Structure 1
Amino acid sequence: MTSSPAPVIAQVEHLAKSYGGVPAVTDVSLELRRGEILGVLGPNGAGKTTTVECLTGLRVRDAGRVEVLGLDPARDGAALRQRVGCQLQESELPAKLRAGEALDLYGSFYDDPADGRELAARLGLGGHLDTPYAGLSGGQKQRLSIALALVGNPEVAVLDELTTGLDPQARRDTWDLIEQVRDDGVTIVLVTHFMDEAERLCDRVVLIDQGEVVATDTPAGLIASVQGGQVLRLRLATTTPRRALDEALQAVDELAELRVTPPQAGPETSPTVVTPEDEVVLRGGREMVGPALLALARAGLEPVDVAAERMTLEDAFVTLTGRTASPSYQEA
């Protein structure tokens, strides 16, 4: 027997917001269901943060309809803030403020706050309550950000770019915390440009690009929507002009995208040359791999470290938008 979908507790319809006449969001619609982790995904500057700031009442929308827990954020901001917790992308506390003091301060803003000490212990901060903010590690600061977003006992928590700047282990520890928070009954809106993060954590995702919603589905659903495609990763044995690589592959019918990813993008990286250190990523149809390898061989270009992979959420995003979301992909 199929269970019915969880109730919708927030809706955004045709949201628009501009700054100084420059559109940040032009047409965003989404819904949030109780008990889920909803990912709001897209590249930097896509309009993700503006969307959630309008959702929580931190920004006043120019147009559209927004309702959260039966409240209009623009009209009922004070009441909504008692029920929604936020961790913003640029959150920063005074350097000398101790972690315990921050929890006490934020708790004082709410009518029915959680026990800050108990919350800190549950999030692995129990031994750092007397540590000044400047003395916390990156992972500990993120744990504190989550604690501050939860200290008001919210029904909904909005977490914006929570793992940016963290090392791989700290990112995975933070993912575990987010799943724990959801399991405790908090509905989560997770804003991120990391596709692996969304694929691991989110029940559904909303892809935003250039201020508009590109697609909404489960991570698996979005991947399935572009399935039948193929991803081929390789390196070239010798330094090769980028133009020669483009010309070698231009006759491959099912090739949809060619991307060259330098290990470190910067001023020293030439956009006209592909080195043996650069990763070459090909995306296209199911029958793309053989013809692509054959085309390289005919042009005298030797591929090494060749790997064919399944589609990921990153690949789905590239296919749907023609752009990349994660900063690890750099166009050469």
Structure 2
Amino acid sequence: MKLINSIVGILILAILVVIGYKSGQMLIELSSPITPINVSESKFNLPEEEPQTLNLRWNHFPLTVYVDTDSVRQDTEYVDAFRGALELWQASTNNTVSFFVTSSPAADVTVEWVSSLKEKAMDTLGNTDIKFINISGTGLIQSADIQLLTKSGPKQLSTIDMTNLAIHEMGHALGLNHSDDENDIMHPILVVPSKEIKGIPDKEVSRLQEIYSVEPEPDLRIIEANVSKATVKRITTFYLINISLIIENNGLVDAISPQMAISTDGIAVKNDTLPDIQIGNSLSVTLGNLRVEKDFSAIEIMLDPNNVIDELNETNNFINVEV
């Protein structure tokens, strides 16, 4: 009888070797990068599938701003007017928003002066094209392209006109929509010639402060998990676990080198560092033949077990699977 048990044990061991048994081998697969949605026109006429309550925002400051001076060589005062608009937004919001003017066209915000606007432009003298990705009802802005006219009909815009126009379009680039209040800088119609530079109303400042009150953080969660357990009887009995799960980053910034801890009935089994998970992307993780010596009834999987990463939601990082 002992001889038979020994032979069976040897056969099991041989089979495990033949199939390439590797305890705790992990396979990783990243989802494809999310495709940004284009929102053309300043009024943010969102696609029908996008909720009209979508909040548009950036996940970082200062924003880099590229001003195409070649498009307005004959009116260099317009460049100063636009820079003045940036300073006004920054001062009015007490640096809730901030900017850095760069010489690189690969900027967050690009500005150019044009002779005509697109056919469907909702503003009379300017237009802002927004590109964003939808993350759980938040439109995370990836880029903003601003086009400004230099004339209203045959009349050249003054530097005061241009400053007001720049304030308005920059408001869109920051995530603000149009206002119905004719006295508001975010009203879609700018009456020219302007008598004075319009201030930024408190309600628009409050709106921006509300939008940016949420810190841009990642938000990791396990959206799918499949677990199996096999009992292997040799000279001693041990257990093999196979795990496949999908982890999603539903936050506002990338999750950098997140940790994952696996335990059985509270006893630590494996800790791993995962690849970075970009905004709106998912990570497929497969763990094969994870060996456990002691029998168990549940497997616990915890993301960021040491709370190294500040997240939008710290309560959705854990899953318990009974087996």
TM-score (norm 1): 0.26
Larger helix proportion of the pair = 1
For the pair shown, the structure with the greater C-alpha radius of gyration is: 2
TM-score (norm 2): 0.26
Larger strand proportion of the pair = 2
